[in-house]
């Protein structure tokens, strides 16, 4: 289709342990930031797409599409997508499909995840929902353990070194945290963990989880365009 999609604004909360904030608070803050940077108002949004993986387990909250819609004055149609670590990307892909089809003109894409309100063991169990419950979980694997196995195989196949992997981890943590610069040596010195049947891995080799919010817009014109904030 002859349609261009544009990002026209974005908003993001700081990564951190927000004990005093609920998942609704984080959603509202991200939405507010996105709208503040966008050349549209909340009433221009005709669809909301929420990306989330495990809110039922970590926040006792499902139906996040409706929850996000309730934060806007006109409560537009909304849905939630889940695709493990790719949830944010799938949400954007879904928004683009709606815009390109003409079913929507302005779409708010919101990603949210809050994992600090429950013990780490519960988070680990919830994350394993993205693995094969019949083949992976019974043998004692955890989700970080699976990624450790993948990294180990990649290092074997392509000669990747631990120091090179630490560089990637440091860059990702620094990008996510924004206010805190993490060095390769910090990653190297972080405590080691391991899962049954998985190699040792550094705690800071794992990246933070939570995609930002964004608004997607498709203004009317003779040549169909879409803009994404």
Predicted confidence at residue 183, as pLDDT, reads 76
Predicted confidence at residue 16, as pLDDT, reads 78
Structure confidence at residue 169 as a pLDDT band (50, 70, 90): confident
Above 70 in pLDDT, residue 105?
Answer: yes
Structure confidence at residue 216 as a pLDDT band (50, 70, 90): very low
Give yes or no for a contact between 199 and 152, defined as CB atoms under 8 angstroms apart. yes
- Share above pLDDT 90 across residues of the chain, in percent, rounded to a whole number: 52
Structure confidence at residue 212 as a pLDDT band (50, 70, 90): very low
Of residues 188 and 103, more confidently modeled: 103
Give yes or no for a contact between 6 and 99, defined as CB atoms under 8 angstroms apart. no
Nearest Cα residue to 108 out of 213, 224, 219: 213
Express each pLDDT in 179-210 by its tens digit. Answer: 567 777 777 777 666 544 455 555 555 554 44
Q: How many CA atoms are closer than 13 Å to the CA of 93, on its beta-carbon side?
A: 8
Of residues 173 and 206, more confidently modeled: 173
Predicted confidence at residue 15, as pLDDT, reads 80
Other CB atoms within a 10 A radius of the CB of residue 150 amount to 11
Structure confidence at residue 145 as a pLDDT band (50, 70, 90): confident
Nearest Cα residue to 162 out of 186, 147, 184, 146: 184
Predicted confidence at residue 124, as pLDDT, reads 87
Domains of the chain: 6-115+209-228 (3.40.47.10), 140-205 (no CATH)
Give the highest mean pLDDT range of 138-142, 144-148, 149-153, 173-177.
Answer: 149-153
Express each pLDDT in 40-97 by its tens digit. Answer: 999 999 999 999 999 999 999 999 999 999 999 999 999 999 999 999 999 999 999 9
Predicted confidence at residue 224, as pLDDT, reads 43
State the chain's mean pLDDT as an integer. Answer: 83
Nearest Cα residue to 151 out of 182, 185, 194, 190: 194
Express each pLDDT in 14-28 by its tens digit. Answer: 887 888 999 999 999
Residue 129, Ramachandran bin (φ over 0: left; ψ between -120 and 50: alpha; else beta): alpha
């Amino acid at each position: 289709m002859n349609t261009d999609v544009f990002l026209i604004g974005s908003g993001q909360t700081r990564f951190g342990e927000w004990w005093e904030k609920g998942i609704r608070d984080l959603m509202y803050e991200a939405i507010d930031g996105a709208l503040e940077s966008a050349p549209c108002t909340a009433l221009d949004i005709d669809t909301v797409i929420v990306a989330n993986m495990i809110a039922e387990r970590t926040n006792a909250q499902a139906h996040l599409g409706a929850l996000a819609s309730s934060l806007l004055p006109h409560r537009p149609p909304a849905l939630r997508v889940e695709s493990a670590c790719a949830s944010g990307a799938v949400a954007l892909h879904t928004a683009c499909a709606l815009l390109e089809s003409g079913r929507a003109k302005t779409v708010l894409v919101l990603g949210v995840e809050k994992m600090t309100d429950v013990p780490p063991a519960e988070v680990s169990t919830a994350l394993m929902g993205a693995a094969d419950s019949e083949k992976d979980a019974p043998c004692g694997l955890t989700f970080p353990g699976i990624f450790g196995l993948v990294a180990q195989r990649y290092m074997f196949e392509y000669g990747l070194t631990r120091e090179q992997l630490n560089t990637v981890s440091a860059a990702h943590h620094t990008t996510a945290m924004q206010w805190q610069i993490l060095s390769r040596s910090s990653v190297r010195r972080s405590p080691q963990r391991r899962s049954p049947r998985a190699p040792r891995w550094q705690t800071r080799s794992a990246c933070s989880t939570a995609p930002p919010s964004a608004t997607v817009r498709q203004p009317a014109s003779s040549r169909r365009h879409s803009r994404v904030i």
